[in-house]
Amino acid sequence: MYALLAGMIFSLIGCDTLPTHPHDDVHKIHAAIIEQHQSSKYPILDSNLPYFSEQEYQDEQVLSYLIADEAMYTVNRNYDENLNVASREAHPKEHGCVKAEFHTYKNLNPSLAKGVFANGQAYEALIRFSNSSENPTGNDHDNDARGMAIKLINLLDKKHGRRDEKLRMMNQDFIMINHPVFLLDDPSDYLSLVRAQNSSSALVKLFDIPIALGFRGMWNAYHTINQDPVMNPLLTQYYSMVPYRLGNNEDQKRRAIKFSVRPIPPNTKNYLEVAQSCVEVKRVESEAHDKNYLRTALFTVLEKDSACMEFLIQEGDEAMSVENSQVEWDSPFTPVALIKIPRIYPDEEDFDEIKKVEKSCEDESFDPWNARDEHRPLGVVNRLRKVIYPIVSDYRHCLNDQESEGCPGKTDEE
């Protein structure tokens, strides 16, 4: 009897060997979307000793497509059948999506003034603030990581203000959360984690999630969601967690960096004239009944004033592995740019504009590989993202708009 019970338990735990998603029609749709992407080239490793060196994990390219397939099941699992809406697989709850300006500082060290960080450049940007939980209607009072995604759209017309045209002139995204390290690095553990999260078995979740994360991953996960409460998306520091390149492929001094955004410190607004209208954002306690208090706090500020934050770069060295995103780098951060979120005037026309921006933001895909060559993503987590993000994004958009070109048909279950 004990042997039978043990066998049943281990069968439940061993989800990697069991067909967790037996619905053939859904699997066929996933397979069709994956097939559309398999012609894309997997990232070629880059090394520039002594600054950094990429090293490929065993079978990571194969595992990347398995993870993408599993991530699509996460989208299925959270599909809202009443509204016929598929949410993002990660960071589905949005606190707000706003237009912004991204101004690089003048007189930067030449080693930093590369790509979009060239001295004195200014860009129109789109910024999306979010929760990391997969619940798109979750309570902001719950422990959670907070996200910030930036999309640089156009060079800013300094004489006439922001541009309104839809043409995309830039291709640069920055994706961050308010914790400096990632949960894991090994692709096989990544796959086990997502499978366990998608499982309907409580035993699988109980045993397989800690096994996939390991001690270091569990430690990082605990400290990611158990931080001091964030009272406003403008009042926390965000980190890229994983590394990126600074310098193009021909640059002999290209190196690995991480980036961060923080609330603007005292007196920083004196750096640039455009920051003179920005106010210091004050911490205000949230209402206990307001489960969307982060959105409330964000727009309470922006309906009255402009707000500024600061973009920073952290340079790596030979002791800081680009493949290990579970350990925090100890090098200092250097300010390179100022982010200004202009005031949103609270009249009917501007509320319509807010809705318009947020609708366009929901249709957008924020992807670290939407990047200039000078800011190419580095490390295994980013290489996996090169496969996973476009596949899951296409799948979400297909569920939300079946008529989109290249979308396979939906099943009745979806």
Identify the H or E element spanning 218.
helix 202-225
What is the value of pTM for the model shown?
0.88
Identify the H or E element spanning 400.
helix 380-400
The predicted pLDDT at position 405 comes to 74
Q: Is 225 exposed, middle or buried (0-12, 13-18, 19+ CB in 10 A)?
A: middle
**Mean pLDDT, range 35-51, rounded to an integer:** 93
∠ CA 171-389-168, nearest 5°, is 20
**Helix extents (H) in 230-347:** 293-302
**Mean pLDDT, range 174-202, rounded to an integer:** 94
Q: Of the given ranges (18-22, 25-29, 273-277, 311-315), which has the lowest mean pLDDT? A: 18-22
| pLDDT at residue 13 greater than cutoff 60 | no
| pLDDT at residue 362 greater than cutoff 80 | no
| pLDDT at residue 166 greater than cutoff 90 | no
Q: Give the three-class secondary structure for 139.
A: coil
Tokens of 262: 């923080």
Give the domain ranges of the chain: 2-400
State the pLDDT confidence band at 105, using cuts at 50, 70 and 90.
very high
pLDDT digit string (tens) for 192-242?
A: 999 999 988 889 889 999 999 999 999 999 998 888 899 999 999 999 999
Q: Give the three-class secondary structure for 283.
A: coil
Which residue type is seen at 156? L
- Give the CA dihedral 363, 138, 126, 274, nearest 10 degrees: 160
The predicted pLDDT at position 47 comes to 95
- The length of the chain is 414
pLDDT digit string (tens) for 371-404?
A: 999 999 999 999 999 999 999 999 999 998 877 7
User: Which of 208 and 170 is assigned the larger pLDDT?
Assistant: 208
The predicted pLDDT at position 407 comes to 86
Adjacent-strand bridge partners of 149: 128, 175
CATH for 2-400 is 2.40.180.10
| pLDDT at residue 190 greater than cutoff 50 | yes
The predicted pLDDT at position 2 comes to 41
Residue 310 in contact with residue 262, Cβ under 8 Å? yes
| pLDDT at residue 333 greater than cutoff 50 | yes
